[in-house]
């Protein structure tokens, strides 16, 4: 029997909770640690079109980028204190953590909420239904590469972020490219998969991604898993080579009137 057919049978006959129990039993060990579900395992599972080793948490389903994001948010203490958070395309392994945190007023949104946990509100990132300067923190991971007008989406993220707030942005990045690759003549899912690596991606971001964010007003710092963690830690947390574009909206400096100029009114 071919492997894929055997997997189909297993999925059909064994309920998912039981498959998860078996998976966790088979992968019990202490070689790797998931900081999100706080489990220790023999290894993370391979994942992706071209299977990346040590990628998928067998318990919470987190990938390298989720674990790096979680470690960075906690290291910088960005989740401490009361805050209003916007989360676009809310990942299931974060959803309950944020929603159950009494200090976080949590706003999970997506254009297709049916693909995300219940409670996700339907909203287009290029037309956010929120007031300007209304969020302390924003998480937007692997979303912008799906949006044709990504500049409008970036402008919207900048608009709703409070001055002094932070936004953690991640995209698939091809560091070999200086310039982001777009080609609007490529429209079919097959062509897009071939050109951009996934059927529903509309571009491949290059090293200019940070400049695109700066172009709408953000102050951008790039966090890199290779800079933040040594080789052993990257293996233990299953981090791979990941980047976070850490965006800030600087408060506008208040221009104070110069009172001594009043004297000229009377001259
Ligand atoms: Zn996990």
Domain co-membership, 110 together with 123: yes
Domain membership of residue 171 (yes or no) is: yes
Distance 68 CA to ligand 1 centre (A): 12
Structure tokens at 79: 């989740």
Using DSSP bridges, classify how beta strands 83-88 and 104-110 pair: parallel, antiparallel or unpaired.
parallel
Distance 92 CA to ligand 1 centre (A): 11
Number of structural domains in the chain: 2
In terms of residue numbers, what domain contains 73? 63-248
Distance 156 CA to ligand 1 centre (A): 31
Domain co-membership, 45 together with 91: no
Distance 39 CA to ligand 1 centre (A): 6
| Residue pair 110/116 in contact by the 8 Å Cβ criterion | yes
Domain co-membership, 231 together with 105: yes
Cβ-proximal residues to 90 (8 Å cutoff; 6+ apart), any chain: 98, 108, 109, 110, 116, 117, 120, 139
Rounded to whole angstroms, the Cα distance separating 202 from 195 reads: 9
Q: Residue 220 belongs to a domain with what CATH number?
A: 3.40.50.150
Q: How many CA atoms lie within 13 A of 26 on its CB side?
A: 9
Distance 47 CA to ligand 1 centre (A): 14
Distance 41 CA to ligand 1 centre (A): 9
Domain membership of residue 263 (yes or no) is: no
Domain co-membership, 196 together with 114: yes
- Alpha carbon 212 to its chain's center: 17
Using DSSP bridges, classify how beta strands 243-248 and 161-170 pair: parallel, antiparallel or unpaired.
antiparallel
Domain membership of residue 261 (yes or no) is: no
Residue ranges of the chain with pLDDT lower than 70? 1-4, 6-7, 9-10, 256-267
Distance 116 CA to ligand 1 centre (A): 18
Domain membership of residue 143 (yes or no) is: yes
Distance 258 CA to ligand 1 centre (A): 57
Domain membership of residue 162 (yes or no) is: yes
Distance 70 CA to ligand 1 centre (A): 11
Domain co-membership, 99 together with 198: yes
Domain membership of residue 267 (yes or no) is: no
Distance 54 CA to ligand 1 centre (A): 12
Domain membership of residue 47 (yes or no) is: yes
Distance 132 CA to ligand 1 centre (A): 35
Please give the pLDDT value at position 229: 94
- Alpha carbon 218 to its chain's center: 17
* 119-178: pLDDT as tens digits: 999 999 999 999 999 999 999 999 999 999 999 999 999 999 999 999 999 999 999 999
Domain co-membership, 50 together with 163: no
Domain co-membership, 149 together with 193: yes
Domain membership of residue 265 (yes or no) is: no
Looking at the chain, list the stretches that DSSP marks H as alpha helix, in order from N- to C-terminal side: 3-13, 16-26, 64-75, 92-99, 150-160, 189-196, 209-215, 225-228, 231-237
Domain co-membership, 55 together with 73: no
Domain co-membership, 20 together with 75: no
Distance 185 CA to ligand 1 centre (A): 40
Distance 235 CA to ligand 1 centre (A): 14
Domain co-membership, 183 together with 148: yes
């Amino acid at each position: 029997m071919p492997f894929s057919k055997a997997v189909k049978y297993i999925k059909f006959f064994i309920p998912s909770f039981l498959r998860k129990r078996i998976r966790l039993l088979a992968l019990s060990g202490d070689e790797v640690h998931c900081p999100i579900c706080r489990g220790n395992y023999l290894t993370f599972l391979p994942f992706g079109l071209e299977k990346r080793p040590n990628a998928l948490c067998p318990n919470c389903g987190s990938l390298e980028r989720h674990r790096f994001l979680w470690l960075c948010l906690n290291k910088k203490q960005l989740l401490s204190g009361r805050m209003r958070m916007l989360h676009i395309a809310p990942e299931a392994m974060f959803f309950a953590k944020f929603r159950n945190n009494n200090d976080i007023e949590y706003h999970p949104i997506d254009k297709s909420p049916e693909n995300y946990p219940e409670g996700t509100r339907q909203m287009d990132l290029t037309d956010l239904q929120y007031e300007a300067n209304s969020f302390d923190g924003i998480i937007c991971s692997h979303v912008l590469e799906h949006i044709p007008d990504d500049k409008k989406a970036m402008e919207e993220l900048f608009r709703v972020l409070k001055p002094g707030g932070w936004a953690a942005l991640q995209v698939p990045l091809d560091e070999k490219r200086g310039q982001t690759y777009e080609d609007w003549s490529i429209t079919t899912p097959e062509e897009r998969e071939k050109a951009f690596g996934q059927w529903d991606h509309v571009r491949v971001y290059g090293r200019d991604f940070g400049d695109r964010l700066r172009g709408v007003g953000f102050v951008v710092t790039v966090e890199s898993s290779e800079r933040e963690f040594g080789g052993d830690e990257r293996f233990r947390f299953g981090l791979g080579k990941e980047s976070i574009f850490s965006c800030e909206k600087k408060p506008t400096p208040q221009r104070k009137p110069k009172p001594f100029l009043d004297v000229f009114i009377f001259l």
